[in-house]
Amino acid sequence: MAPTTHPAPGDPSSDDGAEGPARALPRGGPSAADKARLREQLLALRSGLLRSNRDLAHEALKGSGQVFSVDHFADQASDNTDQAISISLLESETDLLKAIETAILKIDGQASPPYGVCEDCHMQGAWAPETSAPWIPTGRLGVVPYAHLCIAHQEEQEEQ
């Protein structure tokens, strides 16, 4: 049992300091139990990805004797289809890994905005009061625990 010190969701006294929201966050968001469960999911996803990343990196570096570096072998291996596929997979997995790690940091209270808050809503400091915004619905987090956008903003991004 690790001691946890992060504030409760919606706690009005929680303040991230310099880059806090323009507007106080409304009540809502995942409960402490939800967050503990989602954190476990994120850790499991992360370890699966790390294993897969290792295999892909191994494939992309095969025979080159190079030190691991995505940027480096993107240049080196652009003429090799197998390696290029591995690199492209590795890059998208690396993005996913970053999203997962950011989500874990948010749950641990080490990144802003708090876990479960849509980053676009938070940045704009404005959201429609009749919706669940800026909180990402817990049901959505259960499916995509590393989600960083509400459904409206996610759809907006996908349209672009």
Residues that bind Zn ion (CB under 5 A): 118, 120-121, 150, 153
Smallest separation, CB 142 to Zn ion (Å): 18
In the complex, least distance from residue 115 CB atom to Zn ion, rounded to whole angstroms: 14
- The residue whose Cβ lies closest to Zn ion is 118
Instruction: Count helices and strands (H / E) in the chain.
Output: 6, 0
Rounded Cα distance between 21 and 29, Å, is 15
Written as six digits, the tokens of 102 are 């950011």
Shortest spacing between CB 103 and Zn ion, in angstroms: 16
CA 119 to chain centre: 11
Nearer to Zn ion, 35 or 122 (CB): 122
| Residue 49 or 144 with smaller CB distance to Zn ion | 144
Q: Which amino acid is at 135?
A: W
**Between 5 and 160, whose beta carbon lies closer to Zn ion?**
160
Shortest distance, CB of residue 54 to Zn ion, whole angstroms?
34
The whole-angstrom separation of Cα 14 and Cα 115 is: 13
Residue closer to Zn ion by CB (options 45, 118) is 118
Q: Which residue number, 55 or 155, has a Cβ lying nearer to Zn ion?
A: 155
Q: How far is the CB of 122 from Zn ion (least distance, A)?
A: 8
- For the record, the structure tokens of 157 come out as 């991004």
Whether a cis peptide bond, with omega within 30° of 0, leads into 26 is no
Q: Which residues of 101-126 are buried (b: 16+ CB within 10 A; e: fewer)?
A: ebbbebbeeeebbbbbbbbbbbeeee
